[in-house]
Amino acid sequence: MEVHLVDGTYELFRHYYALPSVRDEHGNEVGAVRGVVASVRSMIRDGATHVAVATDHVIESFRNGLWPGYKTSEGIEPDLWAQFPMLEEALSSMGVVVWPMVEFEADDALAAAAGIADRDPRVQRVIICTPDKDLAQCVRGTRVVQLNRRTRVMLDEAGVVKKFGVSPESIPDYLALVGDSADGYPGLPGWGAKSSAAVLAKFVHLENIPKESSEWHVNANSANALAATLRREWEHAMLFRTLATLRTDIPLFQDVEQLRWNGPREEFTSLAARADATTKQAMSDKSPRASRVKSARAGKAPGNREDQRR
């Protein structure tokens, strides 16, 4: 069997900025929810049997207490934010397992679920459906892979190495050095993608990097300055790695059969009927969201939070 683990937060952002505005009979924006539900239904029609979706029921998590600049819900458009509980209700009524995260993040749930499923000998492959680079740390050989459902690009362990220059186990260390603007931590000054990959490809983890660059013997520009920065910013590097390390100790389920899709619940029919009683809102070419929709359809989505959080 294959297990599909879906980043519901990403999917909601993606569909919100890629689809026209749609409102229900009460005037509530529901376009993104309709899009995600249709997308998950399509996944099941294509053969997915064991499916779970993780959402950020609350954007803030325990990480906000560790770093003041960590991402928050500030700036999320009300029409988008209001669709999170709608999505959770719609998917649950559809019979899909949903994990609305509060203390932890959706990414933590995906990581924890991938670990549980990976340990089950009945599982042939775990497919983590998200483009989020944090989740690359969960990839294992060809058994646990990462799928970007928008671009249809799938990364196994060799793919992670090719994309980032480091193995999955080094991804938290890599993000600690280069930073992650989507999550709100800056990394270390001067440490770019190439230099970080070159050093970590050899030493794997931050603790293994010699204090003096003369011992590195890697191709990294301004190695002396990088080593000095790492010594000076060591505590920040450790903190940023903690922020980048996904939690895998969340007891989401005990048996992968709990993730099997067995069809929609009775309430799904009435909920779907309400969602179908909608009107599309025409958007002029001058409206801010209309321009973002056009960019999202082109695969760019500049300046919106879907692009920023990834």
Structure pTM?
0.88
Q: How confident is the model at residue 268 (pLDDT cuts 50, 70, 90)?
A: confident
Report the chain's C-alpha Rg in angstroms.
Answer: 21
| Each residue's pLDDT tens digit, 8-20 | 999 999 999 999 9
| Each residue's pLDDT tens digit, 178-228 | 999 999 999 999 999 999 999 999 999 999 999 999 999 999 989 999 999
Q: How confident is the model at residue 265 (pLDDT cuts 50, 70, 90)?
A: confident
Total of domains in the chain: 2
Residues 276 and 287 in one domain: yes
Does residue 159 sit in helix, strand or coil? helix
Phi, psi of 5 (to 5 degrees): -115, 120
Q: How confident is the model at residue 267 (pLDDT cuts 50, 70, 90)?
A: confident
Residues 12 and 32 in one domain: yes
Task: Give me the pLDDT at residue 199, please.
Answer: 98
Of 195, 227, 244, the domain-final residue: 244
Residues 40 and 25 in one domain: yes
Phi, psi of 94 (to 5 degrees): -75, -10
Q: What is the CATH number of the domain that holds 13?
A: 3.40.50.1010
Phi, psi of 167 (to 5 degrees): -80, 165
Task: Give me the pLDDT at residue 293, please.
Answer: 41
The structure tokens 């499923």 sit at 117
Residues 76 and 136 in one domain: yes
| Each residue's pLDDT tens digit, 75-122 | 899 999 999 999 999 999 999 999 999 999 999 999 999 999 999 999
| Each residue's pLDDT tens digit, 16-68 | 999 999 998 888 999 999 999 999 999 999 999 999 999 999 999 999 999 99
Of 220, 244, 268, the domain-final residue: 244
The fraction of the chain above a pLDDT of 90, given in percent, is 80
DSSP, res 287: S
Please compute the mean of the pLDDT values over residues 233-245 and round it to a whole number: 98
Task: Identify the domain containing residue 75 by its residue range.
Answer: 2-164+247-308
Question: What is the torsion angle, in degrees rounded to the nearest 10, for the CA atoms of residue 58, residue 62, residue 67 and residue 69?
Answer: 0
Q: What is the CATH number of the domain that holds 208?
A: 1.10.150.20
| Each residue's pLDDT tens digit, 114-150 | 999 999 999 999 999 999 999 999 999 999 999 999 9
Of 46-60, 204-218, 238-252, 263-277, least confident by mean pLDDT is 263-277
| Each residue's pLDDT tens digit, 166-183 | 999 999 999 999 999 999
Task: Give me the pLDDT at residue 271, please.
Answer: 72
The structure tokens 């819900």 sit at 73
Residues 296 and 150 in one domain: yes
* Confidence check: pLDDT of 305 > 70: no
